[in-house]
Amino acid sequence: MAPSSKTVTRRTGWVTAEHFYWHDTQNWAGFLEPSMVVQPGQHFENPETKRRMQAMVEVTGLAPLLVPFRPEPVEDAALTVIHPQSYLEHLKAVCASGGGDAGQLTPVGPASYQIAQLAVGGVLQAVDAVFTGEVDNAYVLCRPPGHHAMPDLAMGFCLFANAALGIKHAQATYGIERIATVDWDVHHGNGTQAIFYDDPSVLTISLHQDNLFPPDSGAIDETGSGAGAGVNLNIPLPPGSGSGAYREAFEKIVLPALEAFKPQAIFVPSGFDASALDPLGIMMLSSEDYRWMMRQVLAVADKHCEGRVIVTHEGGYSATYVPYCGLAVVEEMCGVSETLTDPFHIHVANYGGQALSPDQARAVEAARAAYFDG
């Protein structure tokens, strides 16, 4: 199966570490803490989805075509750019006590603080590699995820704002004046939005299932405030949206917004929980939809920011399907054609409702009008 004859058209950094899979989300039942009425089980954000994605990159022979990096943990000083020291001390205390819920639905284990430091270190390393020209783009297969993390609150399985910290690092170290984020996780990227809500130098875009998580977050009228008014873009899509809705949203909103903003780098908080097999969303994307979205992002990056794209792994809870979706994205990033045929694609692509429906078209138009005409 190894694509020995394949050649890459882009140098793609590949950042991961065994310790990412040691972050302990305990024996919660899905996303609920066990109790006398909730039987213990396995937390949705467990190592298996990401471990299996790494395994697929290896067994297809794609790994040797990537540029590997071994992340180093950051010190607290790198985190206090966003997170106050009081919050860091809170996380340390929870971990030191043996673990528990560190915030809102965010269980941790004894080593989770250090592993989260390592995840941020991987993101900063990817930023350095991209901006120094060592690679063209980079994928950070990190854990725990980050796009729900608020400055002083762990939320939705996220401890530190991984992508946002990477953006701050790019701004401070390389003087970047315009950065865009394209978050296609099925849940609203509320943490990233909150951090940059009044910052005109960062365009935050989130495509997500309408009112899924967090509740009452990610509405189309949340467009930024103060100096950042007009640079926060939410595209809440109806449950059941698939290929047609996402491509309509990209073509009518995401790509025009990126073209108007002309970013000097693009960050992609990449969750694969909008896939048709995910247990935490009700969307219908296939691996080919993720490949297509990444292709569009790369085209904008090639035009405006010398191809600079940094991807941080976020959600995605189907151990069966995340590896195929992730493989498609990484293949597209390095310019390698399919190393493995996705056996699920033909089924997902033929699900009823993949075409753009009238209600989905109305939702896209409402988001477009709120951002461009509001």
Cβ burial of 308 (10 Å; 0-12, 13-18, 19+) is buried
* pTM check: above 0.85: yes
Residue at token pair 């990401």:
50
Rounded-to-integer distance, Cα 227 and Cα 289, Å: 34
pLDDT digits (tens, 9 = 90+) for 332-360: 999 998 889 999 999 999 999 999 999 99
Residue type, 157: F
- Both tokens assigned to 321: 């399907």
The angle, 0 to 180 degrees and rounded to 10, between the axes of the packed helices 48-59 and 322-334 is: 50
Per the listing, tokens 């691996």 go with: 287
> Is 7 part of a structural domain of the chain?
no
Residue 152 forms part of a structural domain = yes
Residues 218-255 pLDDT 10s: 999 999 999 999 999 999 999 999 999 999 999 999 99
- Of 250, 268, 253, the C-alpha closest to 179 is 268
**Tens-place pLDDT, residues 167-197:** 999 999 999 999 999 999 999 999 999 999 9
Residue 85: C-alpha distances to residues 90, 211, 296 (Å) = 9, 31, 39
Asked if 164 and 192 touch (Cβ cutoff 8 Å), the reply is yes
* CA nearest to 257, candidates 367, 347, 93: 367
* CB 168, CB 277: distance < 8 Å: no
Tell me which residue of 240, 225, 90, 72 sits closest to 150, measured CA to CA: 90
Contact 73, 125 (CB under 8 A): no
Which residue ranges in the chain fall short of pLDDT 50?
Answer: 2-4
Model pLDDT, residue 149? 98
Q: What is the pLDDT of residue 2?
A: 47
CA pair distance 305, 179, nearest whole angstrom = 9
CA distance 110 to 121: 19
The CATH number covering residue 99 comes to 3.40.800.20
Domain-embedded: residue 1: no
In a domain, residue 279? The reply is yes
CA distances from 321 to 97, 161, 272 (A): 35, 25, 9
Q: Furthest-apart CA pair in the chain: how many Å?
A: 56
Sign of the Cα torsion 101, 106, 111, 116 reads negative
Total domains, the chain: 1
Whether 125 maps to a domain, the answer reads yes
CA distance 43 to 62: 29
Q: What is the DSSP letter of 65?
A: G
How many CB atoms neighbour CB 183 within 10 A? 28
Catalytic residue, from 23, 43, 83, 148: name it: 148
**How do beta strands 107-108 and 202-209 pair?**
unpaired
pLDDT at position 374, please? 79
Range of the domain at 361: 12-373
Which stretch of DSSP H or E encloses residue 259? helix 255-261
Helices (H), 134-202: 162-174, 190-196
**What is the pLDDT at residue 5?**
57
Peptide bond into 144 cis (omega under 30): yes
Bond from prior residue into 71 cis (ω within 30 degrees of 0): no
Which residues 6+ apart lie within 8 Å of 305 measured at CB?
263, 264, 265, 266
What is the 8-class DSSP label of residue 261?
H
Q: Is 215 inside a domain boundary?
A: yes
* CA 212 to chain centroid: 16
Active site residue 147: no
Look up residue 83 and give its DSSP letter: S
Whether 5 maps to a domain, the answer reads no
The alpha carbon dihedral of 67, 72, 78, 80 has a sign of: positive
- The C-alpha torsion from 297 through 267 and 215 to 86, rounded to 10°, is 180
Whether residue 4 lies inside any domain: the answer is no
Look up residue 30 and give its two tokens: 């899905």
The position carrying tokens 């900063």 is 124
